[in-house]
Structure 1
Amino acid sequence: MTHFRKLKLAGATALAAMSMVFGAGAAEWRGWNIHVEDYPVSVAMESFMAEVTEKTGGELTGTVFHAGVLGDQPDAIEQTRLGIMDFGVFSLGPMGQAVPETNVVSLPFIFSSIDQMHRLMDGEVGAEIDKGLQAKGIVALGWYDAGARSFYNSQKPINTPEDVAGMKIRVMSNDLFVGMVEAMGGNATPMAFGEVYQSLQTGVVDGAENNPPSYESTNHYEVAKYYSLSEHLIIPECLCMSKKTWDGLSAEQQEIVLAAGRASADYQRELWAEREQASMDVIKAAGTEVNTVADKAPFQAAMTEVYDKFLADNPELTDLVNMIRNAE
């Protein structure tokens, strides 16, 4: 963090503390976060609240509660919709039950790259998802980066869907992800994340998939030496605000809050990129064979049956899915 940002955060913290002590008609917000304090999301959320406090002259203050101390994500989403919680950062993956539009970004290979995800979420696609969120009582202030999930295994590099055929791949417990592996001829094996290391070590599974920091921090690279940058799942996170809180702001305050949200998203993406690069440096130094999947088109083509089933169950989301798939 730069010296300027440290001073900015310190000043905003002091303003927040004064507001809590002296009142002064200030609104004291509560922010929900599942991550620990030094995580990129957490630092960016603190930066967001600091900027809001500074730019409103202490009229709007708040506290970010990290590490899930205010409950789990489903409860936090519901509390934000009801206005009990003022803001939070939520993965769009689990939001589908409340906001169907967010299910679209959980489709495998829906985005061709991280850069494309950023561009589309900052534009028309993000605006469409925000409409769905607002209809359910939530306003999107910015789209955070949660990285891309890629395949890793103990046998060989993966460059084409055919390379997955016959492999036993651990996936999260979600029909979309099971269908993704099966569409490539692999054997999808849902299991708890904590069981993956031993399962790779003993051959219960041949591989798994996750983002670089998760692959590195769990030492999975010790038992699965091939890491293939397929980027098959790129699921952003949302810096979201309760619409009830948002509607209670003046037009000037809304402008400040939205600008701070977008600035914090840019900052979080920088921090996440640094975190990913650090993880990549560790795994490469350990001898991991890393390859980039140059052509994702065959993988996207293999997902036809996954998409057909999803759209048959959610026909109202067809235009949004096509908007992403037809984007450059």
Structure 2
Amino acid sequence: MLHLPKLAMGALVATALSIGAASAQTVLRSSDTHPDGYPTVEAVKRFGELVAERTDGRYSVEVFHSAQLGEEADTIEQTRFGVIDLNRVSLGPFNGLVPETKIPSLPYIFRSVEHMRKVMDGEIGDEILAAFEPHGLIGLAFYDGGARSFYNSEKPIASIDDLSGLKFRVMQSDVFVDMVEALGADATPMPYGEVYSAIETGVIDGAENNWPSYETSGHAEVAKYYSLDQHLIVPEVLVMSKTTWDTISPEDQEIIRQAAKDSVPYQRELWDAQEEKSREAVIAAGSEITEVDKAPFIAAMEPIYEKYADTPELKDLVARIQAVE
């Protein structure tokens, strides 16, 4: 056994402790349910590179993709309590916690992806990001989650009447459930990972999602009818634990905020390319794509807006979003 002088041993222990402390201070753990290579995962990696570069290595980001740290509902709670430092989540799961997130999650609130980007990049987006703070989170930036449309294994959907009696999986969000039921279909909340087998075995007829999810999940194999109603264009959000945030200097907080904003164009570039690639892939594999007259779908959403835009502040937020040209 090697015997070291007490002073040398003390120096080694002190060095080990200082290395451990530095590591604990600098590595920020970030969660994402999507697989490695997915546009949001790659955008958070880019964000981490910018943070490391601009803080001279004082902070770095380690991305735990593929739901390694848990599904979104679980990771939101862990982030609020500081167990996870950063989290990339769809706005849907925040609807019950941060009221302002209900509005960008409303069906047909955005006329197009371009309209969504303009709203979320501006003052309204910053206002919604700020609304996370009282709930133990710091909103940093919005990413694209694409336009969500219905797909099913039974028939093409060209009109609202075609939805009658069909069972669709939805995210575990009251807005999503109420939206599907207002359209005359049946909503079945279930975890994303169960959807393929549920369609294959006839437990549900279909689901709703964007082009990349429709393709990469394999859902196009069991539900070949994809209908372009684009009922939801729900942004994704990158949030940080306020517990972690409060340990960071104001100067580094500003660096982190700006790095998050600067990662957005990169995410959108990846997203647009992935969307086009996925669209071409499912069409080549035999999916049948149907255009939809959206007007009756939009008209059916009136009770949804009344229910969820239920305060003067939220009604005003709806009006301001719709007024953005």
Q: TM-score, normalised by structure 1?
A: 0.80
- Once residues 201 and 67 of structure 2 are traced to their aligned partners in structure 1, the CA distance between those partners, rounded to angstroms, is 33
Greater mean alpha carbon deviation, residues 185-194 or residues 282-291: 185-194
Is it true that 1:319 corresponds to 2:316 in the alignment? yes
- Once residues 71 and 155 of structure 1 are traced to their aligned partners in structure 2, the CA distance between those partners, rounded to angstroms, is 33
1:299 maps to which of 297, 302, 312? 297
The code of the aligned residue for 2:297 comes to F
Q: In structure 2, do the counterparts of structure 1 residues 278 and 260 end up closer, same or farther at CA, with 3 Å as the change threshold?
A: same
- Once residues 46 and 211 of structure 2 are traced to their aligned partners in structure 1, the CA distance between those partners, rounded to angstroms, is 25
How far is the alpha carbon of 1:205 from its aligned partner? 4.6
1:10 corresponds in structure 2 to none
- Once residues 155 and 196 of structure 2 are traced to their aligned partners in structure 1, the CA distance between those partners, rounded to angstroms, is 18
- Once residues 79 and 161 of structure 1 are traced to their aligned partners in structure 2, the CA distance between those partners, rounded to angstroms, is 40
How far is the alpha carbon of 1:129 from its aligned partner? 1.1
How far is the alpha carbon of 1:276 from its aligned partner? 1.8
1:105 match: secondary structure:
coil
Greater mean alpha carbon deviation, residues 187-196 or residues 255-264: 187-196
How far is the alpha carbon of 1:26 from its aligned partner? 6.1
Runs (5+) with no aligned partner, structure 2:
1-17
Q: In structure 2, do the counterparts of structure 1 residues 289 and 98 end up closer, same or farther at CA, with 3 Å as the change threshold?
A: same
Greater mean alpha carbon deviation, residues 261-270 or residues 80-89: 80-89
How far is the alpha carbon of 1:186 from its aligned partner? 2.9
- Once residues 25 and 95 of structure 1 are traced to their aligned partners in structure 2, the CA distance between those partners, rounded to angstroms, is 28
Q: In structure 2, do the counterparts of structure 1 residues 137 and 154 end up closer, same or farther at CA, with 3 Å as the change threshold?
A: closer
The code of the aligned residue for 2:303 comes to E
Residues 295-322 of structure 1, C-alpha deviations (whole Å, 9 max, x = no match): 534322210112222234x565222233
The code of the aligned residue for 1:302 comes to A
Contact 2:158 2:227 in 1 (8 A): yes
Residues 237-265 of structure 1, C-alpha deviations (whole Å, 9 max, x = no match): 11112334434444442332222111212
- Once residues 87 and 192 of structure 1 are traced to their aligned partners in structure 2, the CA distance between those partners, rounded to angstroms, is 22
How far is the alpha carbon of 1:323 from its aligned partner? 2.3
2:229 match: secondary structure:
strand
Contact 1:40 1:272 in 2 (8 A): yes
Contact 2:107 2:179 in 1 (8 A): yes
- Once residues 264 and 107 of structure 2 are traced to their aligned partners in structure 1, the CA distance between those partners, rounded to angstroms, is 23
- Once residues 290 and 154 of structure 1 are traced to their aligned partners in structure 2, the CA distance between those partners, rounded to angstroms, is 13
Contact 2:93 2:173 in 1 (8 A): no
Greater radius of gyration (CA): 2
How far is the alpha carbon of 1:324 from its aligned partner? 2.4
Runs (5+) with no aligned partner, structure 1:
1-18
Q: TM-score, normalised by structure 2?
A: 0.81
Contact 1:161 1:302 in 2 (8 A): no
CA RMSD of aligned residues (A): 3.0
The code of the aligned residue for 1:229 comes to L
Residues 174-205 of structure 1, C-alpha deviations (whole Å, 9 max, x = no match): 44333223322334444555554455456665
How far is the alpha carbon of 1:282 from its aligned partner? 1.2
How far is the alpha carbon of 1:49 from its aligned partner? 1.0
Q: In structure 2, do the counterparts of structure 1 residues 210 and 126 end up closer, same or farther at CA, with 3 Å as the change threshold?
A: same
1:44 match: secondary structure:
helix
How far is the alpha carbon of 1:327 from its aligned partner? 3.3
Q: In structure 2, do the counterparts of structure 1 residues 22 and 325 end up closer, same or farther at CA, with 3 Å as the change threshold?
A: closer
How far is the alpha carbon of 1:47 from its aligned partner? 1.2
Residues 270-314 of structure 1, C-alpha deviations (whole Å, 9 max, x = no match): 212222222111111122222344x534322210112222234x5
Q: In structure 2, do the counterparts of structure 1 residues 164 and 52 end up closer, same or farther at CA, with 3 Å as the change threshold?
A: same
Give aligned-pair identity as a percent. 50
Q: In structure 2, do the counterparts of structure 1 residues 21 and 247 end up closer, same or farther at CA, with 3 Å as the change threshold?
A: closer
1:151 match: secondary structure:
strand
The code of the aligned residue for 1:303 comes to M
The code of the aligned residue for 1:221 comes to A
- Once residues 83 and 304 of structure 1 are traced to their aligned partners in structure 2, the CA distance between those partners, rounded to angstroms, is 39
1:210 corresponds in structure 2 to 209
Is it true that 1:222 corresponds to 2:221 in the alignment? yes
2:263 match: secondary structure:
helix
Q: In structure 2, do the counterparts of structure 1 residues 319 and 47 end up closer, same or farther at CA, with 3 Å as the change threshold?
A: same
2:306 corresponds in structure 1 to 308
Contact 2:45 2:61 in 1 (8 A): no
Q: In structure 2, do the counterparts of structure 1 residues 324 and 300 end up closer, same or farther at CA, with 3 Å as the change threshold?
A: farther
